[in-house]
Amino acid sequence: MSENHSETHPVCSAVVGLQWGDEGKGKVVDLLAATHDVVARYNGGANAGHSVVVQGQRFSLHLIPSGILYPSKLAVIGNGVVLDPDKLGQELDGLRARGVDTSGLIVSDRAHVVMPYHKAEDAAREDSLKSAREEAQAGSVSEIGTTRRGIGPAYAEKVQRAGAVRVGDLLRPESLKEKIGVAVATRRTSGLKLDPATLDEAKLLEWAIGAGELIRPMVQDTAYLLNNLVRAGKRILFESANGTLLDVDHGTYPFVTGSSCAIAGIGTGTGVPVQRVGRVVGVMKAYSTRVGAGPLPTELAGPGEAGAIGDRIRNRGREFGTTTGRPRRVGWLDLVAVRYSVMVNGITSIALTMLDVLAGMETVRVCTGYRVGGKVTDRFLPDAVSLGRAEPVYENLPGFADEIGAARIRRELPDRARAYVEFIESRVGVPVEIVSVGPDREQTITS
Ligand code: IMP
């Protein structure tokens, strides 16, 4: 039997979104990072947007793990991330200009690179899907509503393999030239209309070599690094990007992102086995939001009362995308969806965010089932066609009038706000460990 504590006892934690992204993971990662040694990102790319407010200063991070804001911690970008070197450079410059020490950032040599043609391709595909929708007018074809950050094309190239560029390749100009040549040649024959400037091989090579020089000091084999740290008893906090319902396998396909956002992505996206993760914190908002296309059964939209409630929540919650600035679609809390996400992630506790946004409403509605073809089910339907046909079945709860941003322990919440939290706990079957009642670090209830 091994004497090594970490071989038998999980020392790592994970933070994962239980809805369609934007659940407030940045704040929760920031809170939990205090008791961990390393924060590691395992999926996604610059499509994510994590906002953290530290001492009144708001930081918006897309690619760099939020752990970077703690000077003594390592912040690791794992192999499962698709890395846009331009965005990385901008984010590093922005952090350094505000006095943040970025020396703890480490990048996997096996992370795939988002190349300029991936971004061009993402936009061209979206544009052609949009035209197809407008021509068909049948609603069966639609653009995904991506962030146009090249995420899908970069992951597609990873799976296609031949022309894919990984961070390690950026440091080897000979093989880099060959790979770029393959990637450009396949695009020239693809039929997608891309700006020819994005397919200039000499310029691409020069850009990629420059990107390599930027990243070189941070590059490591992060699978060995992270596993050695675990063996040494260090605690890793895995930070998920996007949300479980955007997971390429478990989300509302095809209106999903290109990566494994649920915790199974930790194994593939870092090389650390998931059984090292003992604590899995699921982050959920007190209502639902979604950016881009795809079903949102509880959506509050339209010219009537529903739309007005949706507008109120959007404005109070500042529900505009951190990455693209798009207004987010808003809906009532969908517990069918949350229960499903809790199941596929093995969630051990919940962080409930944005509860303060619901203050001032007479009634709040919570979806606890779907009506499909005349029958009520409590099963989520992780497929866009089926979910698009589901009609929400609601339970109405009394709203809470008072502003709750000053509450610091659960007992300080008004009775009806506390009842809302308890309703979630009882229906989901997992304790709510953290309640966030405002954007600041201090506006958090943990007991
Ligand atoms: P992509 O990740 O840019 O390919 O976009 C695919 C879908 O995921 C679109 O509906 C995006 O709006 C959505 N999406 C991607 N990342 C996030 C996120 O961090 N928060 C919310 N939605 C996201």
Q: What is the pLDDT of residue 6?
A: 42
- Residue 266 and residue 277 in contact, taking contact as beta carbons nearer than 8 Å: yes
pLDDT digits 0-9 by tens, 417-437: 999 999 999 999 999 999 999
Cβ of 439 below 6 Å from ligand 1: no
pLDDT tens figures, 180-208: 999 999 999 888 888 888 999 999 999 99
Q: Is 292 helix (H, G, I), strand (E, B) or coil?
A: coil
List domains and CATH numbers for the chain.
Answer: 12-110+219-282 (3.40.440.10), 113-215 (1.10.300.10), 285-445 (3.90.170.10)
The larger pLDDT score, comparing residue 154 to residue 48, is at: 154
Q: What angle do CA 150, 153, 159 make, to 5 degrees?
A: 140
As a whole-number percent, the residues of the chain with pLDDT over 70 amount to 97
Beta-strand pair 375-377/363-372: antiparallel
Residues 6+ apart with CB under 8 A from 252: 20, 245, 246, 294, 295, 382, 383, 384, 387
Ligand 1 contact via 48 beta carbon (within 6 Å): yes
Tell me, what's the pLDDT at 1? 36
The confidence score (pLDDT) of residue 218 equals 97
Helix (H) or strand (E) holding 7: helix 5-8
Please write the tens of the pLDDT for every residue from 249-267: 999 999 999 999 999 999 9
Once rounded to an integer, what is the mean pLDDT over residues 118-134?
91
Regarding the beta carbon of 198 and ligand 1, being less than 6 Å apart is answered no
- When pLDDT is cut at 50, 70 and 90, the band that residue 2 belongs to is very low
Residue among 18, 42, 47 whose CB has most ligand 1 atoms within 8 A, to mutate? 47
CA of 154 to the centre of ligand 1 (A): 14
Distance, C-alpha 89 to centroid of its chain? 21
From 62, 63, 246, 261, the mutation candidate for ligand 1 (largest count of ligand atoms within 8 A of CB) is 246
Instruction: With a cut of 80, say whether residue 10 has pLDDT above it.
Output: no
Task: Tell me how many degrees the CA angle 65-113-172 measures, rounded to the nearest 5.
Answer: 115
Determine the residue of 29, 87, 242, 326 to mutate for testing ligand 1's pocket, defined as the one with the most ligand atoms within 8 A of the Cβ atom.
Answer: 242
Q: Using one digit for the tens of pLDDT, what is the confidence trace for 333-348?
A: 999 999 999 999 999 9
Is residue 275 over pLDDT 80?
yes
Give the pLDDT of residue 321.
Answer: 83
- Ligand 1 centroid to residue 403 C-alpha, Å: 31
| The ligand 1 atom nearest the CA atom of 148 | 3
pLDDT at 396: 98
Band of the pLDDT at 139, cuts 50, 70, 90?
low
122 within 8 A of 47, measured Cβ to Cβ = no
Q: Please check the confidence at residue 66 and state whether its pLDDT lies above 90.
A: no
The reply to whether ligand 1 has any atom less than 6 angstroms from the CB of 145 is yes
Q: Which helix (H) or strand (E) holds 136?
A: helix 116-136
Interval 9-25 mean pLDDT:
92
Q: Is 49 in the pocket of ligand 1 (CB under 6 A)?
A: yes
pLDDT confidence tier of residue 383, bands split at 50, 70 and 90? very high
CB atoms within 10 A of CB 109: 18
Does pLDDT of 5 surpass 80?
A: no
Q: Which residues are catalytic?
A: 22, 50
pLDDT in tens, 205-239: 999 999 999 999 999 999 999 999 999 999 999 99
Residue 138: predicted pLDDT: 53
Res. 4: pLDDT tops 70: no
Q: Is residue 370 pLDDT above 60, yes or no? A: yes
Angle, nearest 10°, between helix axes 116-136 and 173-188?
20
What is the mean pLDDT of the segment spanning 158-177? 95
User: Which pLDDT score, from 0 to 100, does residue 140 have?
Assistant: 63
Higher pLDDT, 408 or 133: 408
* Residue 17 in contact with ligand 1 by CB distance below 6 A: no
Going from the Cα of 303 to the center of ligand 1, the distance in angstroms, rounded, reads: 26
**Is the beta carbon of 147 within 6 A of some atom in ligand 1?**
yes
